[in-house]
Amino acid sequence: MLAALLMVVALTACSREARKARHLGRAESHFKAGDYEKAKIEYLNVLRLERNNFRALRQMGLIFQEQGAPLQAYRFLAKAKELAPEDQEVLLKLGLVHHAAGEFANAREIATAILAKDPVHEEALLLFAEASVTPENVANAGQWLEQARGRASNKAAFHLATARLSLRKQDEKSAEAAVRQALVVDPKSALGHMALGEFLRSRTNLAEAEQEFRKAAELAPLRSPVHLKYAEFKVMTGAIADARKVLTDLTRKVPDYLPAWQMLAQIAFNGKNHDECIAWPKES
């Protein structure tokens, strides 16, 4: 009887592991294909079988962050960080969640931890600068960037981070010079073109600003706030139809990107087209 019981337990464990492996394999395939909704279903199936499966927790957090849902991403990323505190991708996305929530000290701490191991990590450089909001933080970040200049000055992110700190000090001239240097280093930097567009817009040089925002959108990944900035620019200049086109094109390509739907709904609400606020999500 004992032998039979042990065999049943072993078979059950094997079956459980086999099911977990199948779900994880399907999840990874969907993730690589960019089909995040199907991937989420399979990763959740893995977590039902093993609640602390690092890979499933990690990927769920990354998916929600990519979809523009930082609050949903947080619980998965926070747990993944507990299980693998050295995973830089998890750390970065968690830092971005903290930044989106206005928790700048936490975001800065995470960026600092990443940069301690990889001083030229571009996304961490940008997060470090964005999360430096107090005068003391700005001064400290400026010193750090100056020390890292020799290793990081060939990265567009280094110059964009420098520009952000200059803006914190209200030095627009130095900030614009840093943005233009970022585009010298990397002419295909979507964030660089977007930043230059912001400067041109502030001077009401709208024709050139439009070119920069459009170029930024052409270069940016689909699930990027750069596209939202381009749509915002269109709204600001009164080109509402153009803004709607930018956003509807985006939702056709990535229907799970929530910020684009939210902006479309806001445009519809502002235009008192309340029916569209209800209809669009159903069409996704």
- Encode pLDDT of 3-35 as tens digits: 545 454 444 555 778 899 999 999 999 999 999
Between helices 122-130 and 104-117, what is the axis angle to 10°?
A: 150
Give the residue ranges of the chain where pLDDT is below 50.
Answer: 4, 6, 8-11, 282-284
Tokens of 35: 């089909």
State the pLDDT at residue 272: 75
Q: Tell me the residue type at 138.
A: V
- Tokens 């993944």 correspond to 80
Tokens of 230: 């381009």
| Whether the Cβ atoms of residue 149 and residue 168 lie closer than 8 Å to each other | no
State the pLDDT at residue 15: 79
Query: Against a cut of 0.85, is the pTM above it?
Result: yes
**Which one, of 280, 223, 276, lies nearest residue 253 by Cα?**
223
